């Protein structure tokens, strides 16, 4: 009999905010590069929000941690910071395990709102540019576009992202972070034009961006938006 695939624990950990440092950076890169993983993270966030929203927050009794420690270890003098950290870590881990293994097979009691699939693009290098493709994800609901880490501009220059709709006129979106993932919020006037088939392009501009409102330097990467 066919069984369901194991849940992606990394998606659940990212949704709960349990990842930090390199592990969080790796998970965020997966969100940009793997639409299925991004949808899994959003599904976990929705699930946890509904799960935790069903019970009101209740503060534990003051002596709860002392009673737990006394039941498993001989009395030990510990600082209040260690007690608080241990208790919080245990509660978070328990919540994750309960959600992973006791998640109902059917739909949750409160049906989540329909999710709008994101638009994605792979901006391939053009001309003599040797860099690999840059992954981009556009979230229609928030009007935010996220791009994977890229190092495209030489010293003293900036890489600028452009949207080129059907009329062929480039619209500036913003400057890319150098060597780090980039997140940009599009103006309302541009969001309506972000659709399947729109071209995204990256040009090299003076520091601070194009002074003319149009690309002035070479285009080093380009790609087309498609439905995830």
pLDDT at 93 (0 to 100): 55
The span from the CA of 77 to the CA of 204, in Å, is: 61
- The answer to pTM > 0.85 is no
Alpha-carbon gap, residue 97 to 103, rounded angstroms: 10
Q: Work out whether strand 171-175 and strand 182-185 pair parallel, antiparallel, or are unpaired.
A: unpaired
Q: Which CATH number among 1.10.357, 1.10.3470, 2.60.40, 1.10.20 corresponds to the domain 119-227?
A: 2.60.40
Residue located via tokens 């790609």 = 223
**Mean per-residue pLDDT of the chain:** 76
Instruction: Write the pLDDT tens digit of every residue in 137-184.
Output: 999 889 999 998 888 889 999 999 999 998 889 999 999 998 889 999
Highest mean pLDDT among 48-62, 122-136, 157-171 belongs to 157-171
Q: CA 110, CA 133: separation in Å to the nearest integer?
A: 40
Checking if the pLDDT of 79 tops 50, the result is: no
């Amino acid at each position: 009999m066919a069984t369901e695939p194991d849940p992606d624990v990394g998606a659940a950990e990212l949704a709960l905010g349990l990842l930090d440092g390199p592990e969080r950076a790796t998970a965020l890169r997966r969100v940009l590069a793997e639409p299925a993983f991004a949808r899994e993270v959003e599904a976990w966030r929705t699930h946890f929000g509904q799960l935790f929203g069903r019970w009101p927050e209740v503060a534990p009794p003051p002596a709860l941690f002392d009673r737990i420690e006394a039941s498993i270890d001989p009395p030990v003098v510990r600082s209040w910071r260690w007690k608080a950290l241990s208790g919080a870590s245990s509660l978070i881990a328990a919540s994750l395990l309960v959600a992973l293994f006791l998640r109902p097979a059917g739909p949750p009691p409160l049906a989540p709102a329909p999710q709008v699939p994101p638009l994605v693009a792979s901006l391939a290098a053009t001309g003599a540019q040797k860099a690999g493709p840059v992954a981009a994800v556009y979230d229609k609901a928030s009007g935010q576009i996220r791009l994977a880490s890229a190092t495209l501009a030489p010293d003293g220059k900036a890489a600028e992202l452009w949207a080129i709709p059907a009329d062929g006129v480039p619209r500036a979106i913003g400057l890319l972070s150098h060597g780090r993932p980039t997140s940009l919020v599009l103006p309302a006037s541009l969001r309506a034009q972000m659709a399947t088939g729109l071209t995204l392009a990256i040009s090299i501009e003076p520091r601070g961006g194009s002074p003319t409102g149009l690309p002035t330097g070479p285009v080093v990467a380009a790609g087309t938006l498609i439905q995830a």
